[in-house]
Amino acid sequence: MVSARPTRSVGPPIAVLGIPWDANSSHRFGCAAAPGAIRAALHSGSGNDATEHGVHVVPELRDVGDLDLANERASTADADAITAALDEQLATGRRVISLGGDHAITYPILRAVARHHSDLTVVHIDAHPDLYDDFDDNPLSHASPFARALEDGCMARLVQLGIRTATQHSFEQAERFGVEMIGARDLASFDASTLRGPIYLTVDLDGLDPAVAPGVSHHEPGGLTVREVLDVIDTLPGPFVGADIVEYNPSRDVVEMTAMVAAKLLKEIAGRMLSTA
Ligand code: MN
Ligand code: MN
C-alpha cells in the first residue's frame, strides 16, 4: 500500500473567495452562479484532495464564502467592495484564489493585489484580450478589465495566452500598453523561463476549447486543452501570489464537465502556490 505523502504547507492557508458578479457581461448572464457550482464539483467525492504532484491541497484551502454584492451593471460600489475584500485577505498574508463571476472581477482584484505586490506579472489565459477601451459604455465591462488595470498601473507585465479573437482595436490597445499577446496557434512560442514573480494568474475558461469547457457564455472554437493549461500552471515561478477562475456559466454546462475543469484548475493552482512560496 502506498502511504500518503504529508501535506506540504508553506505559509498561511490559501483563501478561496466567491465573487458572484456577472452584471457586466455583454452577451449572456449566469456566471454569478459559478462559485457554488465549482465548490460542489471540488467536494463531489469523484476525486481525492491531492494534486497531480501528490500535494493534498484541499485541507489547505480556507473557503471564506461569497461576497454579498448588489450585482448591478457598472457598479463602482460593487467594484470597491471586491477590492476591499481582497485587500482584507491579502493583509493577513493569505494568497487568494477568487472564483467568478465574469472577467469584470479581475480589475478590482488587481487593484488590491497591486497594493501588496509591486512589479506584478499577470499571466492571462483567455480567448479574448479583454482590452477594450470602451465596450457598451460600461467602463467595468468584462471586455475591459485589463484596459482598466493597465491604466491604473496595476502590473509591470501582462502575458496573454490562448487569444484567438482579437479586433484591430485590441491589437492597438496591446501595442499601447506593451501587452504580450500570444495566440492559441502560437502557444509553443510562450517562454515561461522569462517569467519573474510575483505572479498573478487569471483563467477565463473560454480560453480552453469549448469541447472541453462548454460551460461558458462565449464559445470560441480552437482553444487550449486542459493539459496545456495545466502545463502553464506548472511553469509559473514563485512567488505565486494570487489567481482567479472566471466566466464559468453553469447554465451553459454539460453534465457539470466545465465545473470539474474549474475544480481541477483550482486544485492545481493551489498546489503550485504551495510549492512556489
Ligand atoms: Mn476574459
Ligand atoms: Mn474570454
125-159 burial code (b ≥16 CB/10 A, e <16): bbbbbbbbeebeebbbbbbbbbbbbbeeebbebbb
**d(CA 222, ligand 2 centre) in Å:** 13
Cell reading at 142: 468584462
User: What's the pLDDT score for residue 186?
Assistant: 97
User: What's the pLDDT score for residue 11?
Assistant: 61
User: What's the pLDDT score for residue 143?
Assistant: 98
User: What's the pLDDT score for residue 66?
Assistant: 98
Overall CATH class of domain 14-275: alpha beta
The answer to whether 172 and 131 have CB atoms below 8 angstroms apart is no
User: What's the pLDDT score for residue 274?
Assistant: 93
**d(CA 59, ligand 2 centre) in Å:** 31
Mean pLDDT in each 10-residue stretch from start to end of the chain (277 residues)? 45 91 96 98 94 94 97 97 98 96 98 97 98 97 98 98 97 98 97 96 98 98 98 96 98 98 98 90
Rounded Cα distance, 184 and 163, in Å: 6
pTM: 0.96
User: What's the pLDDT score for residue 2?
Assistant: 42
User: What's the pLDDT score for residue 33?
Assistant: 98
Ligand at minimal distance from the CA of 127 is: 2
**d(CA 244, ligand 1 centre) in Å:** 11
Ligand at minimal distance from the CA of 131 is: 1
HSE-up of residue 212 (Cα within 13 Å, Cβ side): 16
**d(CA 9, ligand 1 centre) in Å:** 31
The answer to whether 90 and 116 have CB atoms below 8 angstroms apart is yes
